[in-house]
Amino acid sequence: MAQARLIALDWGSTRLRAFLLGDGGEVLATRQSNDGAATLSGADAYAGALADLVGDWRADHPGIRLLACGMVGSQYGWREAAYVRCPADAAALADQLLQVDGALSIVPGLVDDAAQPDVMRGEETQIVGALALRPELADDALLVLPGTHSKWARVKDGRVTGFATHMTGELFALLRQHSVLNRLMPADGSSPASPEAFLKGVDAAREEGGLAHQLFAVRTLGLFKQLGAEQLPDYLSGLLIGHEIASELRAVTPARIALVGDPALCARYAQALVHLGQPEPLLLDNTAPAGLWALAQTMNLT
Amino acid sequence: MAQARLIALDWGSTRLRAFLLGDGGEVLATRQSNDGAATLSGADAYAGALADLVGDWRADHPGIRLLACGMVGSQYGWREAAYVRCPADAAALADQLLQVDGALSIVPGLVDDAAQPDVMRGEETQIVGALALRPELADDALLVLPGTHSKWARVKDGRVTGFATHMTGELFALLRQHSVLNRLMPADGSSPASPEAFLKGVDAAREEGGLAHQLFAVRTLGLFKQLGAEQLPDYLSGLLIGHEIASELRAVTPARIALVGDPALCARYAQALVHLGQPEPLLLDNTAPAGLWALAQTMNLT
């Protein structure tokens, strides 16, 4: 087996992902479990989840260090790591690593408190990874990390100068599953994608009237059969993503935009951005392993 | 007992309210049950719910007519009543009454299809009632009916010229009960009202950034203890109501605003409107009985 140098842990609310990284930070092996931070309580539970997933890696590579990012460092996590204030770069994050024990450290989150405070945990590491993989982004870029709580981070001269969270993914799930809009829709996951309905939703988001009003149209467009039942989830998705994009691009005109994360979701955002007149954005898959490697290098953990 | 002339039924999704109306439309007796349209399926269930609640009224007043409004007339209701197109007045609604049997009729809903279609069922009757009780509103007014799905109806020369629905109440309930924002809040209903936090939310709605972003601040303001846990529900309420009001007042400057419905909720909207520089709005309680009486008079049902 190639020389293993670091166990990188992307430990979010719903999942724990582990990456065994080699000499140049290359991924030698990957594993994941459903032991997300939201399902665990107390240090023993975290230690147990970690042993279950990567105990044998640690046994095979005595003395190997572990670096974790994400909700594992929240106030409900294993231990609470700091929030580093924006503007911040990789060195500022590395400075505030929380040492859990001799082997394991947790990356701090970021806070933007220029206006009402906004926070991230996990995405700061993905941003470090994106900048390590694509140094041309460091000058001036907008990094978008879509998800349950999407993050829009402004990067300038290698530092995150500020960011905003949008609860877009969570709103979609709530409305899809629990609201009156659910009634006219097919069961979750059973409908083929409708790019046409998605873009119709993106267009609707540009109109006046407010989101809480436009959401009701998901119901009426179904009621009056102007959209098929199977198109309604994509229309809803377009409406929410369209609002998110419009809010952000009202404030900033970035030199370039990069989308980081789940490829299918990033493709959806890219489609909306291009539809709204933006150039084709750069697409990056999960950059957490690259970010953890870069932070570990900064601190000579490997 | 005074002469009974009509059984008025305000039959929404969650509740059935019955009013025994006398000679001048005055309320002689009131009853309600939880047999809302959302809990009933099939004509027999509706007929049974009606007999349970007002069977004795009908026996005591042979030949008395019944007039119902609300979701009882939806496609999932007892029978589907029409949607009358805006602009529409009381006469246009009365023209389209759906006769269920010799005694019972259902008031049609309204549709505004100037842009994407928007619909109401029940509120059209409350509007008719408000105009009957307060004729000075008929010239030029904005009638606001706050609730799960708030309605903003523009009235001009005695007709509803158009309206918009906002899913404000439903969003509040979803976010309060099912979202990540719930975690920092006290259990539902257990916190005293905080007018200060409510108005702070109304103010936040005036900022740039978009609703899905501003919602996340409910979490971070709690996380950083800038608001107490017991203040967060009111901040959330202010944020959502503030967005609703801002969206509507961007488009229209009405001669007067009237709030119709639940007094506590209407008081909340009034507080926000005044805070945003509007004159003190007119407040009206449930006007459905007055509306049903007016429509029944139009059709000589009494």
Report pLDDT for A160: 98
> With bands split at pLDDT 50, 70 and 90, how would you rate the model's confidence at B189?
low
Domain ranges of chain B: 4-137+287-298, 168-284
Q: Which residues contact A184 (CB under 8 A, 6 or more apart)?
A: A219, A222, A223, A229, A232
Q: What percent of chain A is predicted at pLDDT more than 70?
A: 99
Shortest alpha-carbon distance between residue A160 and chain B (Å): 18
Distances (CA, A) of A247 to A206, A240, A242, B167: 10, 11, 9, 20
- Same topology, domains B4-137+287-298 and B168-284? Answer is yes
H-helix or E-strand spanning residue B288: helix B288-298
CB contact under 8 A, A178 and B174: yes
Query: Higher model confidence: residue A60 or residue A252?
Result: A60
Q: Which CATH class is domain B168-284?
A: alpha beta
> With bands split at pLDDT 50, 70 and 90, how would you rate the model's confidence at A190?
low
Instruction: Report the C-alpha gap between A116 and A124 in whole angstroms.
Output: 19
Query: Is residue B173 classed as helix, strand or coil in its secondary structure?
Result: helix
In B, which residues are within 8 Å of A248 by CB distance? 210
Report pLDDT for A191: 67
| A37 reaches B (C-beta below 8 A) | no
**Total residues found in chain B within this entry:** 302
> Mutate which of B220, B243, B245 to disrupt the A interface (most A C-beta within 10 Å)?
B220
The answer, yes or no, to whether residue A219 has pLDDT greater than 70, is yes
Report pLDDT for A302: 85
Q: Smallest Cα–Cα separation from A36: which of A122, A117, A118, A143?
A: A122
Nearest to B213 among A113, A165, A212 (CB): A165
H-helix or E-strand spanning residue B31: strand B27-33
Q: Smallest Cα–Cα separation from B281: which of B262, B254, B241?
A: B254
Backbone angles phi, psi at B103, to 5 degrees: -105, -35
Report pLDDT for A250: 86
A6 bridge partner residues: A21, A65
The answer, yes or no, to whether residue B65 has pLDDT greater than 90, is yes
**Total residues found in chain A within this entry:** 302
Report pLDDT for A63: 95
The answer, yes or no, to whether residue B142 has pLDDT greater than 80, is yes
Instruction: Report the C-alpha gap between B32 and B34 in whole angstroms.
Output: 7
| Number of Cβ pairs < 8 A linking chain A and chain B | 129
In A, which residues are within 8 Å of B215 by CB distance? 167, 171
Report pLDDT for A39: 95
Q: Which residues contact B107 (CB under 8 A, 6 or more apart)?
A: B67, B68, B69, B73, B81, B93, B97, B124, B125, B292, B295
Report pLDDT for B106: 98
Instruction: Report the C-alpha gap between B200 and B242 in whole angstroms.
Output: 10
Cα A110 versus chain centre, distance:
13
Report pLDDT for B191: 67
Statement: A4-136+287-298 belongs to CATH 3.30.465.10: no
- The contacts found for A297-302 with CB under 8 angstroms, 24 or more apart, are A297/A25, A298/A90, A298/A91, A298/A94, A299/A94, A299/A97, A299/A105, A301/A6, A301/A65, A301/A67, A301/A105, A302/A5, A302/A6, A302/A21, A302/A65
> With bands split at pLDDT 50, 70 and 90, how would you rate the model's confidence at A301?
confident
Report pLDDT for B251: 76
Average pLDDT over residues B205-216: 94
H-helix segments, A96-181: 123-133, 168-178
CB contact under 8 A, A212 and B171: yes
Nearest to A209 among B164, B168, B220 (CB): B164
Shortest alpha-carbon distance between residue A264 and chain B (Å): 21
CB contact under 8 A, A216 and B247: no
ipTM of the complex: 0.93
> With bands split at pLDDT 50, 70 and 90, how would you rate the model's confidence at A1?
low
Nearest to A220 among B118, B168, B178 (CB): B118
Report pLDDT for B79: 97
Asked if the bond preceding B254 is cis, omega within 30° of 0, the reply is: no
Round the average pLDDT of chain B to a whole number and report it.
95
Instruction: Report the C-alpha gap between B38 and B115 in whole angstroms.
Output: 28
Q: What percent of chain B is predicted at pLDDT more than 70?
A: 99
Report pLDDT for B254: 81
The answer, yes or no, to whether residue A156 has pLDDT greater than 80, is yes
H-helix segments, chain A: 43-60, 90-95, 123-133, 168-178, 195-204, 211-223, 232-251, 263-275, 288-298
The answer, yes or no, to whether residue B1 has pLDDT greater than 60, is no
Q: Which CATH number fits domain B4-137+287-298: 2.40.33.20, 3.40.50.1860, 3.30.450.40, 3.30.420.300?
A: 3.30.420.300
